[in-house]
Amino acid sequence: MSDLIRLLSAETGLSNSDLIRIIRTAPRRYKVFYIPKRTGGMREIAQPARELKVLQRVLVGRLLGALPVHDAARAYRTGMSIRDNAAPHAGSGPILKMDFRDFFPSIRSTDWQRYCRDHDILSEEDREITSLIFFRRNKGEKIFRLSIGAPSSPVLSNVLMYDFDTQVSAEAERRGIAYTRYADDLTFSGQRAGMLKDMVGEVEKAARKVKYPRLQVHGEKTTYITASRRRTVTGVTLANDGALSLGRDKKRLLSAGVHHASLGKLSAEQMEELAGQLAFANVVEPEFLDRLRAKYGEAVDLVRRSVRSS
Per-residue confidence band for 34, with pLDDT thresholds at 50, 70 and 90:
very high
Q: Are 56 and 134 in contact (CB under 8 A)?
A: yes
User: Which DSSP string do the residues of 195-263 spell out, in sequence order?
Assistant: GGTTHHHHHHHHHHHSSS----B-GGG-EEE-TTS-EEETTEEE-TTS-EE--HHHHHHHHHHHHHHHT
User: Which DSSP string do the residues of 16-79 spell out, in sequence order?
Assistant: HHHHHHHHHTGGG-EEEEEEE-TTSSEEEEEEEPHHHHHHHHHHHHHTGGGS---TTB-SS-TT
Q: Given this model, what pLDDT does residue 309 score?
A: 54
Per-residue confidence band for 111, with pLDDT thresholds at 50, 70 and 90:
very high
Of 98, 262, 271, 91, the residue nearest 184 (C-alpha): 98
The CB-side HSE value for 208 (13 A sphere, CA atoms) comes to 6
Q: Given this model, what pLDDT does residue 268 score?
A: 86
Of 213, 295, 224, the residue nearest 257 (C-alpha): 295
Q: Output 242 or 72, whichever has higher pLDDT.
A: 72
Q: Given this model, what pLDDT does residue 165 score?
A: 99
Structural domains of the chain in order of their starting residue, each with its CATH number: 66-234 (3.30.70), 246-306 (no CATH)
Q: Given this model, what pLDDT does residue 278 score?
A: 93
Task: Give, in order, the Cα–Cα distances in Å from 147 to each of 27, 103, 107, 181.
Answer: 10, 10, 9, 19
Task: Inform me whether the pLDDT recorded for 1 exceeds 80.
Answer: no
∠231-149-18 over CA atoms, to 5°?
A: 155
Average pLDDT over residues 130-159: 96
Compute the distance between CA of residue 294 and CA of residue 288 in angstroms, rounded to an integer: 10
Compute the distance between CA of residue 234 and CA of residue 189 in angstroms, rounded to an integer: 14
What residues contact residue 281 under an 8 Å CB cut-off, 6+ apart?
246, 250, 254, 288, 289
Pairing of strands 231-233, 236-238: antiparallel
> pLDDT above 70 covers what percent of the chain?
98
Per-residue confidence band for 40, with pLDDT thresholds at 50, 70 and 90:
confident
- What one-letter code names the amino acid at 210? V
Per-residue confidence band for 306, with pLDDT thresholds at 50, 70 and 90:
low
Compute the distance between CA of residue 303 and CA of residue 213 in angstroms, rounded to an integer: 43
Backbone region of residue 80 per phi and psi (left: phi > 0; alpha: psi in -120 to 50; beta: other values): beta
Per-residue confidence band for 307, with pLDDT thresholds at 50, 70 and 90:
low
Task: Inform me whether the pLDDT recorded for 129 exceeds 90.
Answer: yes
Average pLDDT over residues 277-283: 93
